[in-house]
């Protein structure tokens, strides 16, 4: 099946957090997320921009990432016929690694779905599951931190 990007959609989602996340750059109660959906060869691929709402943790932030993806990255995508083409097509845009990653992952996800290949297989994984961790924010006390981690 020929792989050609048919459509790109950006979605902003406000995800309420179960508990506020406190870090050195501030406290968040809602996570502002930019999702990128790429439709190609009848399959939908998804990518997430991990930038925060404000440029307090990194120079990238969701409003700017949305503009960069919409106005500078998506227009460069149309010649892509495989995920390995995407980095070179986006290369002329300086910086913006979080925005670029969201686009690249959405294209890769769509391509893998058209090929019927799992991400694990594509990356050469040998196990069906991997252990993951969680990021916990700054707690007001050691006891509160232990309670959060224990939960």
Task: Indicate the domain borders of the chain.
Answer: 5-118
10 alpha carbon, distance to own chain's centre: 12
Q: Is the pLDDT of residue 1 over 60?
A: no
Classify domain 5-118 at the CATH class level.
alpha beta
Q: CB neighbours (10 Å) of residue 65?
A: 23
pTM comes to 0.86
Q: In the prediction, which pLDDT does 23 show?
A: 81
Region 109-132 average pLDDT? 92
* Cβ neighbours, 10 Å, residue 92: 8
pLDDT 10s digits, 54-110: 998 899 999 999 999 999 999 999 888 889 999 999 999 999 999 999 999 999 999
CB atoms within 10 A of CB 37: 16
Chain position carrying tokens 């500078």: 72
pLDDT of residue 21: 83
> Bigger pLDDT: 26 or 96?
96
- pLDDT tens digit string along 126-147? 988 888 887 778 888 889 888 8
Q: Is the pLDDT of residue 41 over 90?
A: no
* Whole-number Cα distances in Å, 125 to 82, 90, 102, 128, 131: 21, 27, 22, 8, 13
């Amino acid at each position: 099946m020929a792989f050609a990007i048919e459509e790109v959609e950006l979605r902003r989602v406000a995800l309420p957090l179960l508990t506020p996340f406190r870090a050195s750059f501030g406290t968040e109660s809602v996570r502002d997320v930019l999702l990128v959906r790429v439709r190609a060869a009848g399959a939908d691929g998804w990518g997430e921009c991990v930038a925060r709402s404000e440029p307090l943790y990194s120079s990238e932030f969701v409003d700017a990432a949305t503009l960069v993806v919409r106005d500078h990255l998506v227009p460069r995508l149309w010649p892509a016929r495989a995920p390995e083409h995407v980095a070179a097509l986006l290369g002329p845009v300086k910086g913006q690694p979080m925005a670029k990653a969201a686009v690249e992952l959405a294209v890769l996800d769509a391509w893998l779905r058209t090929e019927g290949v799992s991400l694990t297989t594509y990356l050469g994984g040998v196990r069906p599951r991997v252990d993951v961790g969680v990021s916990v924010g700054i707690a007001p006390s050691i006891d509160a931190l232990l309670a959060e981690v224990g939960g």
